[in-house]
Every structure is written in structure tokens, then in C-alpha cells.
Structure 1
Amino acid sequence: MKWLIASDLHGSAYYCRKLLEKIHEEKADRILLLGDLLYHGPRNDLPKEYNPKEVLSMLNGIAEKIVCVRGNCDGEVDQMVLDFPMMADYAVLDFGGRALYATHGHLYNDKKPLKFAKGSILVCGHFHVPCVKELEGFTYINDGSLSLPKENSWHSYMTFDGTTFFWYDIESGEKKMKYEIK
């Protein structure tokens, strides 16, 4: 099964359209969204083609494929218009006996992880910078940001096939990073 992982759309219709194109191109079976879907937040500039209503319409069109967690810019009012659950602080997915914990990153992250089994993977968004770190007992992975990248990073998304994560620049399609689970 192939997953496409993304976060931090922040209401950008432009990057949501790009995301839908990549879902089709990648032939992704499921989509894992790590929060901050519709609202840009008071600390962020407006992203390109800010249009939360258009974003929710596009995401609702693929609702049956989405697993989603809540970001710090997501709220109950967003859940009222989305056709998939998005209010959980984290989700736990099993990949062949290895747990993948998905969360936005504002509550749990590399410096404040959940309590989980050794060898687990913690996948987050929130910080808008793609990275992977092998830490004591777990691997921390950040997908970056679709619409508002920071620290000179790119507009990013990831794929995961159960053994390997790939980071891509959504604008160029260029593969930027790779991490194979050990």
C-alpha cells in the first residue's frame, strides 16, 4: 500500500490542486494529512490562492482515502464542513508490526514525544521543514509544508510504501530526500 503524506496546506487552493495531481500521479492508495488544512493562522502570511472553501471541496472529494489528525490551526468549525474525521491529536498506524505515530507536531514532536514502543516512527508537520532524525528509541520524521515552507526548504510532500519514505518538491516533482526504515 502506498501512502502520500502531507501537512500545512493552510487554505491554499493552489497547493491543494497540486496535491490532488500528485495523489493521482503517485497512485497513492491512502492519504495521511498531518493537520493545518483550511486556516492560515495568525503567524503565517496568506498562502498562494488562499481559499479554504475550495480546499475543503477538493479534500471532501477524496474523503474516503484520507486519514487526518488535527493541527493547531484546525478547529471544530473545520470538522463541521469536512467529510472525514480530523479532530484527533494523533493516529497510530501499523506497518508490519512497526507503529507509525502521526501527529501535527504542536503537542508531540521530537523534543516532546508520545510514549511509545522502541523502534516506532513519529511523523509530524507543524515546523514546515522536512527532516528525519534517528533518536533514542524512535525515528522522527517531518514532511515539511505544502504551502508555507520555512528555512529555505521546498513545498513538500512525502510518500511511504511501508519501508521507505521519499520527500518531494511538489513544484518540480524532484525527489529531495529518502529514508529507509532499518
Structure 2
Amino acid sequence: MKLFIASDLHGSVTATQAMLARFEASNADHLILLGDLLNHGPRNAIPDGYNPVETAEALNAYSKQIIAVRGNCDSEVDQALLQFPITASYAHVLLPQMRLFLTHGHIYNPQQLPPLQSSDALVFGHSHIPVAEYRDDILLFNPGSTTIPRNNGRASYGLITAIECQVRALDNDELLLSCSIRHTI
């Protein structure tokens, strides 16, 4: 199984369309969205291509493939525009080799871990900074932001397969970070 991970779209239809094109090209089974989908938030500048309605329409075309969690900028009003659920603050995806704990990152993050077992993964967004590393037998994975990268980073997304997790550049698909999946079975 291949999972495509994106976070912090912040209502940019331009970035969302680019991300969806990468999703299509990846042949991933599911599109995991880690929150902050439609609104830019009060601390962020309005991103290029800001159009929450068109962003929602673009995402809705993939509603049957999406697993999403709520970000700190998402609201019940956003849910009214979307044809897939976004109100859960976390979700679990069970893979044969590990459990993925999906969350936005404003509640649970590397500094405030949820209850996890050895070989589990915390998959989070919020910081807009990519991460792909193990810490004490827990995989920490953040795909960065498709729209508002921080720390002079690049717009990015992630992929998780049975053997590897990757962060890739949104503009040219360049590999930015990778980490092998540890198997404990």
C-alpha cells in the first residue's frame, strides 16, 4: 500500500491542484490530509491562489480516497464545503508493519506524544517543516506544507510505503528527505 500525505493547504487552489496532480502521478491508494485545508489562519499571510471554495471543490473530487484530520485553522463551516469528514482531531491507519497516528500537530506532536507503542508512527503537520526520522523507536513524519513552507523550505508532500517514507518537493518531485521503515515483525 502507498499513502500520499499532505498538510497545510491553507486554501490555496494553486497548491492544491499541484498536490492533486502529484497524487495522481504517485498511484497512491489513499490521500491523507493532515488539516488546515481551507483557511489561511490569522498568523499566515494570504497564500497565492487563495480560494477556499475552489480548493474544496478540487478536494471533493477525491473524497472517496481521502482520510483527513482537523487542523487548528479548520472549522465546522469548512466541513460544510467538504464531502469527506475533517472534524476528527486524530485518526489511526493500521499497516501490517506499524500503526500510523494521524494528527495535525497542534495538540499531539514530537514534544507532546500521544500514547504510542514501539514501531508506531506519529504523522503530523502544523509546523510546515518536513521531518522523517525515528526517535526512540517511534517514526516521526511531517510532510511539510504544500502552501506555506517555513525555515526557507520548499512546498512539499509525503509518501509512505511498506519500506520507506519520503518527503518530496511539490514543484519538481525532488526527494528532500527519506527514512526506511523499520520492521519489528
The two structures have a TM-score, normalised by structure 1, of 0.97
Residues 140-177 of structure 1, C-alpha deviations (whole Å, 9 max, x = no match): 11111000000011100011112211111101221111
Matches within 5 A, 1:14-163: 14-163=14-163
Aligned to 1:5: 5
Residues 26-80 of structure 1, C-alpha deviations (whole Å, 9 max, x = no match): 1121100000000000000111110000000000111000000000000111111
Counterpart Cα distance in 2 of 1:158 and 1:133? 13
Name stretches of at least 5 consecutive residues in structure 2 with no aligned partner.
none
| Runs of 4 or more above 4 Å deviation | none
Cα offset, 1:135, TM superposition: 1.8
Counterpart Cα distance in 1 of 2:97 and 2:20? 30
Counterpart Cα distance in 1 of 2:131 and 2:75? 27
Counterpart Cα distance in 1 of 2:101 and 2:162? 13
Counterpart Cα distance in 2 of 1:117 and 1:49? 40
Cα offset, 1:134, TM superposition: 2.0
The two structures have a TM-score, normalised by structure 2, of 0.95
Kindly provide the amino acid, as one letter, of the partner of residue 88 in structure 1.
A
Cα offset, 1:109, TM superposition: 0.2
Query: Which range moves more in the overlay, 4-13 or 161-170?
Result: 161-170
Counterpart Cα distance in 2 of 1:178 and 1:137? 16
Cα offset, 1:106, TM superposition: 0.2
Aligned to 1:176: 176
Kindly provide the amino acid, as one letter, of the partner of residue 58 in structure 1.
A
Alignment check: 8 A CA contact 2:97 2:162 kept: no
SS in 2 for 1:133: strand
Percent identity of the aligned residues? 38
Counterpart Cα distance in 1 of 2:163 and 2:95? 8
Kindly provide the amino acid, as one letter, of the partner of residue 37 in structure 1.
L
Query: Which range moves more in the overlay, 79-88 or 128-137?
Result: 128-137
Alignment check: 8 A CA contact 2:11 2:55 kept: yes
Counterpart Cα distance in 2 of 1:4 and 1:134? 19
Counterpart Cα distance in 1 of 2:86 and 2:163? 25
Kindly provide the amino acid, as one letter, of the partner of residue 29 in structure 1.
D
Counterpart Cα distance in 2 of 1:137 and 1:166? 18
Residues 62-105 of structure 1, C-alpha deviations (whole Å, 9 max, x = no match): 10000000000001111112100111111111110411101000
Residues 109-161 of structure 1, C-alpha deviations (whole Å, 9 max, x = no match): 00001012222100100000001232234121111100000001110001111
Aligned residues: 182
Query: Which range moves more in the overlay, 146-155 or 133-142?
Result: 133-142
Alignment check: 8 A CA contact 2:12 2:147 kept: yes
Kindly provide the amino acid, as one letter, of the partner of residue 53 in structure 2.
K
Name stretches of at least 5 consecutive residues in structure 1 with no aligned partner.
none
Query: Which range moves more in the overlay, 167-176 or 99-108?
Result: 167-176
